[in-house]
């Protein structure tokens, strides 16, 4: 196994490995690299659905089926992220997966089935590095703040449709996921790093702040996180795999490929209850 760092703290490519048959020693080394680099990339991994699910289970218990995203007919825990002719991707946002639920996921394992020849990259952001670069004064302020995370931006997207009563299915299901209040700054449960745990898609406001002040402060922090020095960008190929730590990153899907067919399968691992 060869691990090649792509940045000081974020991203590494792993070669000379078969994810379908990892030994205990290989997985232990892989897991330490996952904690250190936050997102790992692999090429030429023709995983079966069973292989994909088994790999994700080595990281922890799997999330239940996603309430909105489509999934494989024979396995509800394998989300299908697909673009087809006449069905281009929805608007993309920087996001950390599912922070609208009480316990956000630990990590995800994304496997490319087929991708465009050009375009469709994904970018990850190291939110621990973003936090580390803030001033001491900012850190003192932000450690005292909570934020409100809520499910939005999915309503009206390609993952939504109207039911027989003409109502948004996403809007109705979202009633099962009320807004969540959580600390803006989280301590990673395994590395001990402090993380600025906000994201552009699901962090709605700073709790107990006036709306205008809240949006201005969040915009400043989001702008900081958009700086390329915190990022790693991955160009997908058929059978590529990415595994990322959802507790320490945001990511962004680049939608620059129109409706060129693209299909990826995602399996997501549950987070710790202390999150």
Catalytic site positions: 95, 97, 251, 266
Query: Is residue 28 classed exposed, middle or buried when 0-12, 13-18 and 19+ CB atoms within 10 A define those classes?
Result: exposed
Percent helix, strand, coil in the chain, to 5, is: 25, 30, 50
- For 156, left (φ over 0), alpha (ψ -120 to 50), or beta? left
Neighbour tally for 64: CB within 10 Å: 10
Q: List Cβ neighbours of 90 (8 Å cut-off, separation of 6 or more).
A: 157, 158, 159, 255
User: Which helix (H) or strand (E) covers residue 112, if one does?
Assistant: strand 107-114
């Amino acid at each position: 196994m060869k691990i090649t760092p792509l940045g000081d703290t974020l991203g590494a490519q792993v070669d000379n490995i078969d994810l379908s048959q990892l030994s205990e020693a290989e997985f232990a080394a892989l897991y330490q690299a996952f904690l250190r680099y936050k997102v790992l990339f692999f090429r030429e991994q023709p995983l079966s659905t069973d292989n994909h699910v088994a790999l994700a289970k080595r990281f922890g218990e799997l999330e239940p089926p996603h309430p909105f995203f489509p999934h494989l007919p024979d396995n509800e825990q394998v989300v299908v992220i697909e673009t087809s002719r006449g069905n281009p991707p929805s608007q993309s946002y920087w996001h950390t997966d599912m922070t609208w639920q009480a316990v956000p996921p630990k990590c995800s394992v994304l496997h490319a089935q087929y991708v465009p020849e050009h375009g469709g990259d994904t970018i990850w952001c190291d939110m621990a590095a973003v936090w580390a670069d803030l001033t001491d004064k900012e850190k003192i302020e932000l450690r005292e703040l909570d934020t409100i995370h809520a499910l939005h931006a999915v309503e009206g997207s390609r993952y939504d449709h109207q039911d027989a009563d003409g109502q948004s299915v996403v809007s109705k299901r979202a009633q099962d996921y009320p807004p969540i209040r959580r600390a803006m700054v989280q301590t990673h449960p395994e590395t001990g790093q402090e993380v600025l745990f906000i994201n552009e898609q699901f962090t709605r406001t700073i709790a107990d702040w006036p709306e205008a002040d809240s949006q201005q402060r969040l915009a400043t922090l989001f702008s900081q996180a958009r700086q390329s020095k915190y990022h790693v960008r991955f160009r997908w190929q058929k059978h590529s795999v990415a595994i990322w730590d959802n507790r320490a990153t945001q990511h962004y899907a680049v939608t620059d490929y129109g409706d060129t067919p693209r299909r990826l399968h995602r399996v997501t691992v549950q987070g710790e209850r202390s999150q």
